Amino acid sequence: MRFTFDVGVRERHEVTFSFDKFWGGLSILVNGQPVRQELRVLSVELVKRYEFVVGQEERHAVLVEKERKLLFAGFRPQQVRAYVDGQLVAEHTA
């Protein structure tokens, strides 16, 4: 699963969220630079939240939520939602 969304008006940033639901590799990039990278082998949470700030002059709070099913999550569609300053800006299911 991989998707990209833009943040900012005057100061534009490209945020890329990537997650391999079979192997557990997760990365969040801002303008190609890693903000978050992790390997998730086991998770008890059904919704995982990733929060970070994007921008220097024009700062925005970004929240990415990844929601998984309770059973057989690697074989079922998972939903990811991206919020910028509390507003839903992107949604992806894979």
Instruction: Enumerate the domain spans of the chain.
Output: 2-93
The yes-or-no verdict on residue 43 having pLDDT over 80 is no
Alpha-carbon distances, residue 75 vs 4, 37, 72, 85 (angstroms)? 23, 22, 6, 32
Q: How confident is the model over 1-30, as pLDDT tens digits?
A: 899 999 999 999 999 999 998 888 999 999
Quote the CA–CA distance of 49 and 87 in Å, as a whole number. Answer: 15
Per-residue model confidence (pLDDT) at position 22? 81
Read off the amino acid at residue 7: V
Band the pLDDT of 53: cuts 50, 70, 90. Answer: very high
Q: How confident is the model over 60-81, as pLDDT tens digits?
A: 999 999 998 888 777 788 999 9
Per-residue model confidence (pLDDT) at position 93? 92
Structure tokens at 68: 């998984």
Quote the CA–CA distance of 76 and 70 in Å, as a whole number. Answer: 10
Q: What integer is the mean pLDDT of 90-94?
A: 93
Provide the CATH topology of domain 2-93.
Lipocalin (2.40.128)
Q: What is the pTM of this model?
A: 0.89
What proportions of the chain, in percent to the nearest 5, are helix, strand and coil? 5, 60, 40
Per-residue model confidence (pLDDT) at position 50? 97
